[in-house]
């Protein structure tokens, strides 16, 4: 009897794996035929037909009409149903949160942004986010298959706990179960840098199907998401990639995290603005700083170039730690443009072995929307496709 049960489980697991493979291929192909899926997947035509029939019945796949293939042969086109395969994305920063409906191709369908006027550790902040998320779904009459949250701090996946840096150091928070209970949907939480990395892996334009890609998020802090062969590298607890708290000056200023000379004390948006506010003509927000930098303001350029140098040292350390093929920079720094990235590149070149430099591609994110927002869809579907029967039953 146990042998029979084991055999049934293996067959079920194999079908789950095949369904995930077919959905991922359709995500890459867009509109395709059953024959193309059979050829690309290596699955026999009867298996593809069975899987597609199940997906059509569940509303996950729809037929698009006739396709003309090689030698004039006609077949029925199929594609993923982007009205069905949607998620609720919740992107949280220290000053705002964004609610969005995102489909499996990373396209935004609805979006609204709210300000945060209290510290993230205030319990009322996430109570309000939950309330607004419920209202957002009702207002837009959407039925997502899951919810993803991108947060500005490490997420300890084994403990279902998020860490936020406060004036008193790191504090832990747990709220996933409350969101699942209220929204009646599976909720997946991830650090924003990891979300951005998955967004770049799934939706970015760099042709990398295997290998190591690092996404560096810039804004209030600096963080890195590391993806190897399509999988997030979280470390033992889930805090891998906290490069903003990597010391680049052991005699530097004290950071809230308890360390000294942390990278983000020198090159985060907050650090740049702190220096800009001390100018003879103070600059009070990042948009104004970008304008002055692009206009060639020498004092601002000096501040930005210093930050670029420090940031480049951080990237050089990433190159030695992870040896990535691609490093993608997202967030605030994109607004500074190519001259900023050129300065970072020059610093990286000076600080790493030439062979390493030749094999690393440093670039700004080319995605139209925030990687840490649309990447939520990548995180949710990546998790759900580990057991795609959930999508068929949803």
Residues of the chain with CATH 3.30.420.40: 86-196+373-393, 205-366
- What 3-state class would DSSP assign to 215? strand
Residues of the chain with CATH 1.10.10.10: 2-80
- Contact status, residue 146 vs residue 153, Cβ threshold 8 Å: no
- The pLDDT tens digits along the chain (394 residues) read 456 577 788 888 899 999 999 999 999 999 999 999 999 999 999 999 999 999 999 999 999 988 876 666 778 999 999 999 999 999 998 889 999 999 999 999 999 999 998 887 788 889 999 999 999 999 988 899 999 999 987 788 777 787 776 656 667 778 888 899 999 999 999 999 999 999 999 998 655 567 899 999 998 889 999 999 989 998 888 888 999 999 999 999 999 888 999 999 999 999 999 999 999 899 999 999 999 999 999 999 999 999 999 999 999 999 999 999 999 999 999 999 999 999 999 999 999 999 888 888 999 998 989 999 999 999 999 999 999 999 988 7
Predicted model pTM: 0.90
CA end-to-end distance (rounded Å), the chain: 31
From 106, 375, 96, select the one nearest 219 (Cα to Cα). 96
φ/ψ of 280, rounded to 5, equals: -60, -30
212-218/96-103 β-pairing: unpaired
Those residues whose C-beta lies under 8 Å from the C-beta of residue 394, and which sit 6 or more positions away, are 58, 145
Those residues whose C-beta lies under 8 Å from the C-beta of residue 158, and which sit 6 or more positions away, are 237, 238
Identify the CATH assignment for 2-80 out of 3.30.559.10, 1.10.10.10, 1.10.1240.10, 1.20.1250.20.
1.10.10.10
Domain 86-196+373-393 has CATH 1.10.520.10: no
Distance from C-alpha of 125 to C-alpha of 116, rounded to nearest angstrom: 7
What's the DSSP call for residue 255?
A: P
From 172, 92, 181, select the one nearest 129 (Cα to Cα). 92
CATH superfamily of 205-366: ATPase, nucleotide binding domain (3.30.420.40)
- Contact status, residue 95 vs residue 382, Cβ threshold 8 Å: no
From 138, 145, 201, select the one nearest 375 (Cα to Cα). 201
């Amino acid at each position: 009897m146990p042998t029979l049960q084991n055999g049934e489980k293996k067959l079920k697991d194999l079908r789950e794996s095949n369904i995930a493979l077919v959905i991922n291929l359709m995500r890459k192909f867009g509109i395709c035929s059953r024959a193309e899926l059979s050829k690309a997947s290596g699955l026999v035509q009867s298996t593809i037909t069975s899987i597609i029939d199940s997906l059509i019945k569940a509303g996950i796949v729809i037929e698009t009409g006739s396709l003309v293939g090689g030698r004039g042969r006609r077949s029925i086109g199929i594609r993923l149903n982007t009205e069905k395969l949607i998620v609720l994305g919740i992107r949280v920063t220290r000053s705002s949160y964004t609610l969005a409906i995102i489909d499996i191709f990373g396209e935004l369908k609805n979006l609204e942004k709210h300000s945060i006027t209290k510290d993230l550790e205030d319990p009322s902040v996430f109570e309000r986010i939950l309330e607004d998320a419920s209202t957002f779904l009702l207002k837009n009459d959407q039925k997502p298959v899951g919810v993803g949250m991108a947060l500005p701090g490490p997420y300890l996946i084994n403990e279902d706990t998020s860490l936020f840096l406060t004036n008193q150091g790191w504090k832990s928070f747990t709220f996933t179960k409350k969101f699942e209970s209220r929204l009646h949907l599976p909720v997946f939480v991830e650090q924003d840098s990891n979300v951005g990395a998955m967004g770049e892996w799934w939706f970015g334009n760099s042709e990398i199907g295997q290998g190591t890609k690092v996404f560096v998020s810039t804004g209030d802090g600096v963080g890195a998401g590391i993806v190897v062969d399509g999988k997030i590298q979280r470390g033992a607890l889930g805090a891998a990639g906290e490069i903003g708290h990597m010391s680049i000056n052991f005699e530097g200023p004290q950071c809230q995290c308890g360390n000294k000379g942390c990278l983000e004390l020198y090159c985060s948006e907050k650090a740049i603005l702190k220096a800009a506010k001390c100018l003879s003509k103070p600059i009070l927000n990042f948009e104004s700083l970008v304008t002055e930098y692009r206009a060639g303001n020498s004092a601002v350029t000096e501040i930005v170039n210093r930050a670029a140098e420090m940031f480049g040292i951080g990237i050089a350390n990433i190159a030695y730690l992870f040896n990535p093929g691609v490093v993608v920079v997202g967030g605030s720094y994109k607004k500074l443009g190519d001259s900023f990235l050129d300065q970072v590149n020059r610093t990286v070149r000076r600080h790493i072995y030439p062979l390493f430099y030749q094999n690393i591609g440093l670039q700004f994110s080319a995605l139209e929307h925030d990687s840490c927002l649309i990447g939520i869809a990548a995180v949710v579907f990546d998790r759900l496709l580990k057991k795609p029967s959930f999508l068929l039953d949803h």
